[in-house]
Copies of this chain bind each other. A is one copy, B any other.
Amino acid sequence: MYEMTIRLQTGGNVRLYEQIYEHIKTEIRKGKLLAGERLPSTRFLADYLQVARSTVDFAYSQLQAEGYIEAKPCRGYFVCSVDELAGLGELDAPETATGRAAAGENSWTEKGKAAFEDVETGIAVEEGEQGVFSEEPIRWDFSPYDIDMTGFPFSVWKKITKNILTCANSDLFSRGEPQGDYELRVTISRYLHSSRGVNCRPEQIIVGAGNDYLLMLLEKILGRHVKIAMEDPTYLRSYRIFQSFAYDIVTVGMDGAGMRVEPLEQEKVQAAYVMPSHQFPTGVVMPIGRRLELLRWAAGAPDRYLIEDDYDSEFRFRGKPIPALQASDELGKVIYLGSFSKAIAPAIRVSFMVLPDPLLKRYRKECGFYSCTVSRIDQSILNGFIRDGYFERHLNKMRKIYRSKHDLLLDELVPFQKKFSISGENAGLHLLLTAKEPCSEKELRSKAVRRGVKVYGLSQGTGENSGRHATVLLGFGGLSPEQISEGAGRLKEAWEIEG
């Protein structure tokens, strides 16, 4: 164990903080602590080593100053990229400030950070990108992935949990059904029917711990050699996952109606991954005509399927709700994916997948023995939460909160319309700004970062560059109204917007 091996020498001539500092530095340089790893909190380590907390603080400050580790607000300390260090031939060189400066100032630090955030959010940074960094800490993070946790109904959740955890429910601690508890599947199928128009029997639903896991399961069902179409741009986490499956990914351009259909025939793909109710990141809503075109394409061969990721359909602020693509599917061609991560909390690790009958049979045959990844206790809590109406109330409340944040951000962005066009509004938790004049996303992001604001580039990640105008994403879910206004103000300065 990492910290076990620190043997502090008391009474010697090397100070305690220096011993801690040296030890961690050596671990990082030897590659024993890898980039992105989180260090123990200063409190924890001080307690563990029986030293004053200030001693550990001092060691960490030094490591941070030298670029070995970095602090992330509310998350702790993380190891910076070591590969970069090694690549620069620094591993055996003396670690002087000059050495670091020669290696491109602090750019590798920022890159290490970006690479790690990538893991967290699914947003990636192009290979070789440098220069989006600043001495100033990020104070306004317009992440399109963050949600508002202040609205979480703790007391209700606690009450349901308390009622469930009784001896009378000891069967809850036994192994459950592989697809998830039947009661929860009934509840989900009803919810999907009433809110999304999805038609399914509880038997078609597979409950799993997160979309990532369900996609892993889907790989076992669809097979390991699938040619899959994804929109360009698309949700990067899913892109990464299909990449890790060694799937043959065909990126298909979008028009105003979403994924174009002709390339699917031309490229002989077997599956297409789409987000028809609210495409991520563009916010495009797929009209019924295009939906039917896609369904017709899928009907053209027995092994063609559409994977519908309905990731944030709960949050629509204007107009009627958009039904799911699955609701128009009469031939069993749509694999429907949904999750409670955005609607309740990312920590509620419950997603679900609705399989059409032919795939359900294959699942039962090939994968029916995989145990369910969600504990029966968590399933019961969630079931109670939905069944007893709390979920609906929570959604109504959050929809109001997000709508007011959405409206506020739109207001703040009015002056930006001289230089940018705004899109993706009225649904979801982010907006898009597309520059009217030529400029790069990196430039926009760099200027923002220098003012302590983080925005997200549309082109980051897939390595695709379709020559589109520079577009950045501004998420508002995780920011308070004050932060939205302040952040927008800073962006105005950063991008020299008048008014």
Spell out A's residues near B (CB within 8 Å). Answer: 1-4, 31-38, 40, 44, 74, 76, 118-120, 122, 149-150, 152, 154, 157-158, 161-162, 165-167, 170-178, 182-183, 186, 189-190, 193, 199-203, 208-210, 212-213, 216, 220, 224, 237, 240-241, 244, 246, 341, 345-349, 357, 360-361, 364, 366-378
- Give chain B nearest CB distance to A281 CB in angstroms: 17
Contact partners of A201 in chain B: CB under 8 A: 1-2, 32
- Give chain B nearest CB distance to A49 CB in angstroms: 13
Contact partners of A186 in chain B: CB under 8 A: 1, 3, 40, 44
Interface centre among A32, A33, A173, A376 (most CB of B within 10 A): A173
Contact partners of A158 in chain B: CB under 8 A: 162, 165-166
Instruction: Give Cα distance in the complex from A171 to B38, angstroms.
Output: 16
A122-B369 CB under 8 A given contacts A176-B347, A203-B34: yes
- B203/A368 in contact, CB under 8 A: no
Instruction: Give Cα distance in the complex from A374 to B375, angstroms.
Output: 9
Which of B154, B173, B216, B360 sits near A347, CB closer than 8 Å? B173
- B120/A175 in contact, CB under 8 A: yes
- B210/A373 in contact, CB under 8 A: yes
Which of B36, B178, B373 sits near A209, CB closer than 8 Å? B373
- Give chain B nearest CB distance to A70 CB in angstroms: 15
Contact partners of A44 in chain B: CB under 8 A: 183, 186
Instruction: Give Cα distance in the complex from A150 to B272, angstroms.
Output: 49
- A213/B1 in contact, CB under 8 A: no
Contact partners of A360 in chain B: CB under 8 A: 34
Instruction: Give Cα distance in the complex from A37 to B357, angstroms.
Output: 13
- B224/A244 in contact, CB under 8 A: no
Which of B2, B178, B366, B370 sits near A203, CB closer than 8 Å? B2
Contact partners of A345 in chain B: CB under 8 A: 173-174
Interface centre among A171, A208, A209 (most CB of B within 10 A): A209
Instruction: Give Cα distance in the complex from A397 to B74, angstroms.
Output: 39
Copies in the complex: 2
Instruction: Give Cα distance in the complex from A220 to B247, angstroms.
Output: 13
- B1/A373 in contact, CB under 8 A: no
Contact partners of A76 in chain B: CB under 8 A: 182
- B199/A1 in contact, CB under 8 A: yes
Contact partners of A377 in chain B: CB under 8 A: 347
Instruction: Give Cα distance in the complex from A76 to B171, angstroms.
Output: 12
A369-B173 CB under 8 A given contacts A154-B167, A201-B1: no
Instruction: Give Cα distance in the complex from A357 to B27, angstroms.
Output: 13
- B34/A1 in contact, CB under 8 A: no
Which of B34, B172, B375 sits near A378, CB closer than 8 Å? B375
- Give chain B nearest CB distance to A145 CB in angstroms: 8
Which of B74, B237, B369 sits near A171, CB closer than 8 Å? B74
- Give chain B nearest CB distance to A239 CB in angstroms: 10
Looking across the interface, which residue of chain B has its beta carbon closest to that of A154?
Answer: B167
Which of B157, B162, B170, B378 sits near A152, CB closer than 8 Å? B170
- Give chain B nearest CB distance to A226 CB in angstroms: 13
Instruction: Give Cα distance in the complex from A179 to B299, angstroms.
Output: 40
- Give chain B nearest CB distance to A391 CB in angstroms: 15
- A174/B199 in contact, CB under 8 A: no
Contact partners of A178 in chain B: CB under 8 A: 119-120
- A367/B174 in contact, CB under 8 A: no
* 19 examples of A-B residue contacts, CB within 8 angstroms: A1-B186, A1-B189, A1-B200, A32-B201, A34-B364, A37-B203, A40-B186, A149-B171, A154-B166, A161-B165, A172-B347, A173-B345, A209-B209, A209-B374, A210-B371, A213-B373, A244-B366, A244-B367, A347-B376
In the complex, the 10 A-B pairs of residues with the closest C-beta atoms, listed nearest first: A209-B373, A2-B201, A173-B345, A175-B346, A173-B347, A349-B375, A158-B165, A347-B376, A209-B209, A1-B189
Given contacts A154-B165, A173-B346, A209-B349, 16 further A-B contacts (CB under 8 A): A1-B189, A36-B368, A119-B178, A122-B369, A149-B170, A149-B173, A152-B173, A154-B167, A161-B165, A172-B347, A209-B374, A212-B371, A241-B370, A244-B366, A347-B375, A349-B372
Instruction: Give Cα distance in the complex from A172 to B348, angstroms.
Output: 10
Contact partners of A175 in chain B: CB under 8 A: 120, 341, 346-347
